[in-house]
Every structure is written in C-alpha cells, then in structure tokens.
Amino acid sequence: MWVGAVVIGLAPNLLIVGAGWVLGMSGWSIAGAALQTLQADKLPEKQRGKVAALTGLMTQVAPVIGIGIAYAVSSSTLLIFLVPGVIGAVLLALFPLIKPEGSSVSLARSGEMTLKSVVSSYGFNARKYPDFGWNWVGRFVFFVGLYFNTTFGTFFYSQRLDLPVREVAGIVATVGMIGVVAAAAGAIVGGFLSDKLQRRRLFVMLAALLFVGGAVAEATAWSLPQIIVGAVLMQLAIAVFATVDQAIIYAILPDRDQAGRYMAVTQFAQKIPSAVAPLIAGVVITIGAVGAEKNYTLLYLVGAAFALIGGLIILLKVKSVR
C-alpha cells in the first residue's frame, strides 16, 4: 500500500500512475480483508453490531481526515500520497504488536496451495448453507440497486439543476459531506441498536425502505433541497445496511475456521455489482430518453426496486438470524 502511494507520487506519466494505483489498492484490499477476517474469527455475537458500526464510522471519518492531511501538504505532490501512506503503513505495522495472535506453526494445513485450489475455494454448497447463500444473493441485489443510483450522480445533478457539469462540483462536494454525517449516524445507530435489540433482519429491511424513500425522492427531484433529502436518505440506508448485514455475515459463516475464505466470497456480492451495474445503468438511462435528456427517473426507480428486493430476500430467507 505504501509503495503504491510512493509510485503514484513520483509517477512521470499516466501509465505509472495506473500501476501505482493497482499496487496500492491491492495492499489496501489485502489489509481490509485481513481485518474483516479477524473480526469474523474473534467477535462474540453481542459485539458484532457495535464493531461493525465503529468500522463503518471510521470508513466515513478517515477519508475526511485524509483530505485534510492532503490539503496540509498540498504544496508537494509526493507528500500528498506519501504522508497518508506512511500513516496507514505504521498503523498496520503496529496492529499485530498491539493484538498478537501467537504462532501459526502448529495449525493444521489443508494441503498444497495451487491456482486450482484457490479458485475452487470460492465455491460453496448453497443447499447445505442456505442462510449464507440467501444473504449473498440479497446483498448482491441490494448493491446492484446502490450502484444504479450512485454511478451518474454528477450528470444527474447537472440535468436536474440545469447546470453545466463543471459547475456542479461544489454541489456534489456539499451533498457528499452531508452524506458522510448521515452515513456515520446510520452506522452507529444501526449497529448499536441491532446489538441491543438482537434484531438484524429488521434493520436490513428498514435500510432497504430508507433507500427506496431516498431513491424516489431523487427520481422526482427538480430542486436542490429535494436532491439533498434523497441523497441523505440513501447514504443513511447504505450505512445501516452495510453495518447490520456485516453482523449477519459474522453470525452465518458456514465454517468459522475458514472465515477468510467466506469473507472473500462475501466481497464478490459487492465487487461484481460495482463492475456490472454501471454498465447496465448506462443502458437504462437511455430507455425513453428524449434528446440529450437521460431518463434518470427510471434509473433511480429501478435501483430502488433492486434495493427493496435485496432487503426482502434477507428478511424472508435468512432464517437463523433474528
């Protein structure tokens, strides 16, 4: 991760920037996956919502801090990438010292690691583990709806507010900052309340309904106040869903001794929609479009439908979690 940041900071051309980005994101993904796996391994049921909430809160606060650090050293392109990278690397290096796990020498090994064994490890028996399978499907469908409604935000604001794209940057930033506050509140409230009430699926469904409300508000919005209301509702919904569904995943892992494997499988339910949904959304906005006006109303309503279906799947099909 740190090396990738340095490469980007020193890159003489776009190709090297891309290489540094891939390197840095690979490190970030590995570290994030390891932390999630550790939570799946160690957290007791009564703390899963709280920890997921605090994790969600940090994912909202950290980018703001990062932007502040970058602004403080903005006179140097290298420092913009180097300083946050060093901070992240140092904190990650300290983590195993603060939370040691002991030696792994005596742990049982499942056999030789090959490309075939790695690829096959991502499969699982959905009939044997129906809760995990249905939660994966519900999460996948919800995130399809999410990416439908977040991909073309800048162009949506431009069309609905009748402004050139270059003039909506300030609006996007303002809406984004308000959304950060809403997301932080959603993560904390959803996580802590779901722990206290020991109800997870109810909060997932509540998140889906909030998302529908926000998507409908945006679909019918032609003014900035209504757009802000819609965006805040959707950010609140996303935070509640992500936090509580994370706690559900920890509870329904098919095999806690292979938590890393199943957490990786879970990530596909988010990563695949992030790649596929924007492509489909680009087609949806052309349906019934008149001239240069794109059909964002249809796009946001379709996204709302996907989110609602995702929430219903988890509410009705995941049986072992309340």
What mean pLDDT comes out for the span 22-45?
Answer: 75
Give the number of other Cβ atoms within 10 Å of residue 301's Cβ.
19
pLDDT of amino acid 305: 97
pLDDT of amino acid 59: 75
Two tokens at 112? 């030789």
Burial (CB count within 10 angstroms: exposed 0-12, middle 13-18, buried 19+), residue 279: exposed
More confident residue, 133 or 33: 133
Out of 106-115, 222-231, 245-254, 294-303, pick the least confident: 106-115
Give the pLDDT band of residue 312 (cuts 50, 70, 90): very high
Tell me the one-letter amino acid at 91. L
Percent of the chain with pLDDT over 70: 92
Q: Where are the alpha helices (DSSP H) in 74-148?
A: 77-98, 115-120, 130-148
Q: What are the pLDDT digits (tens) for 259-276?
A: 778 888 888 898 899 889
Give the pLDDT band of residue 50 (cuts 50, 70, 90): confident
- Tell me the C-alpha to C-alpha distance, in Å, between residue 57 and each of 37, 111, 132, 181: 18, 39, 25, 9
pTM exceeds 0.75, yes or no: yes
- Full set of structural domains in the chain with CATH: 2-98+129-317 (1.20.1250.20)
Percent of the chain with pLDDT over 90: 31
The yes-or-no verdict on residue 110 having pLDDT over 60 is no
The yes-or-no verdict on residue 138 having pLDDT over 70 is yes
Report the mean per-residue pLDDT for the chain: 84
The yes-or-no verdict on residue 99 having pLDDT over 90 is no
What mean pLDDT comes out for the span 6-18?
Answer: 85
Give the pLDDT band of residue 120 (cuts 50, 70, 90): low
Two tokens at 211? 């998302």
Of the candidates 171, 231, 169, 180, the one whose C-alpha atom is nearest the C-alpha of residue 57 is 180
The yes-or-no verdict on residue 40 having pLDDT over 60 is yes
Of the candidates 145, 138, 146, 139, the one whose C-alpha atom is nearest the C-alpha of residue 313 is 138
pLDDT of amino acid 119: 61
Two tokens at 90? 């140092």
What mean pLDDT comes out for the span 218-229?
Answer: 93
